[in-house]
Chains A and B, each alone.
Chain A
C-alpha cells in the first residue's frame, strides 16, 4: 500500500480519554492526510499536512489535532474521545497537490 503504515489497526477506548493514531510513510511524500469514513458520509477530511510542521484543517477538524515533526510521520490526536468519533480513520499520502493520494489500510476506532 504505497509504503503507508497506520497504527494501531484497531483500538477501543473510553469516552474522555486521549487517543493518538499514527501514520508512517516510507515514500518521502510531502502531503499527508487524515480522513474518517462513516456510513452514509463517505470519506471526510479531518486535517492535512503539506510539509513538516505545516498543517491545515479539513471539513471535520473539531475535536482533532495533528502534528508532523518529520516527513514520515503524521499523528492524529483526539484530545478527549467522544462516541461520535467512533469511525474508521484513513491516512493518505501524495507527492503534491492535484496528484493521486495513496491510502493506508485504516484504523478502526471505537469509543465506548
Chain B
C-alpha cells in the first residue's frame, strides 16, 4: 500500500549547524502534511504543518518544504540545539480526512 518513508534513519549534526530531515511520500492524493518530534518516553509533539497549496512554511527555527512534483517533504532546523535531539516523524493524510499515515522516523543526534 501507499506509505510515507524517510531516507535517513539517523542524522548526526553538530550544535549550531542546520539540520535537514527528509521524507518521501507516495500517495499523490495527500494534501496535508505534519512534522512531529518525539523525545524518549513521550508522545509525539507537533512541530509544523503544511498544506498542498503551499511550497514552504516557516516557524520558529523550523521550515518545512513541500515538493509535490517529486512527492518530497523536508524539515529544516536552523542552529540545531541539544534539545532538538529526538526522533522526527513526517505524516500525511492520504487525501482522506482524519487518517494520518506516519513514516518510521529519523533520529536526530546533536553533538557538542
- Point out residues on A near B: beta carbons under 8 Å: 1, 31, 33, 35, 40-45, 48, 50, 56, 58-59, 90, 92, 94, 97-98, 100-106
Contact = CB atoms under 8 A, between A and B. Distances in A.
Given A102-B46, A105-B42, A106-B43, A44 B104 contact: no
Instruction: Name the 5 nearest CB pairs between A and B, nearest first.
Output: A97-B97, A103-B43, A43-B102, A42-B104, A42-B102
Contacts of A50: 98
Contacts of A59: 101
Band of interface residues on B: 20 to 34
Given A98-B32, A98-B51, A100-B49, A43 B98 contact: no
For the residues of A in contact with B, the DSSP-based class is: strand
A90 B98 contact: no
A90 B91 CA distance: 15
B43 A105 contact: yes
Nearest to B44: A103
B104 A40 contact: yes
B46 A101 contact: yes
Interface in B6-48: 31-32, 34, 36, 41-46
Given A101-B46, A103-B45, A42 B89 contact: yes
Given A48-B98, A50-B98, A90 B32 contact: no
Given A42-B105, A43-B89, 4 more contacts: A31-B98, A43-B44, A45-B99, A92-B43
Contact of B99 (A1, A41, A48, A100): A48
Nearest to A105: B43
B29 to A, nearest CB: 13
A68 to B, nearest CB: 14
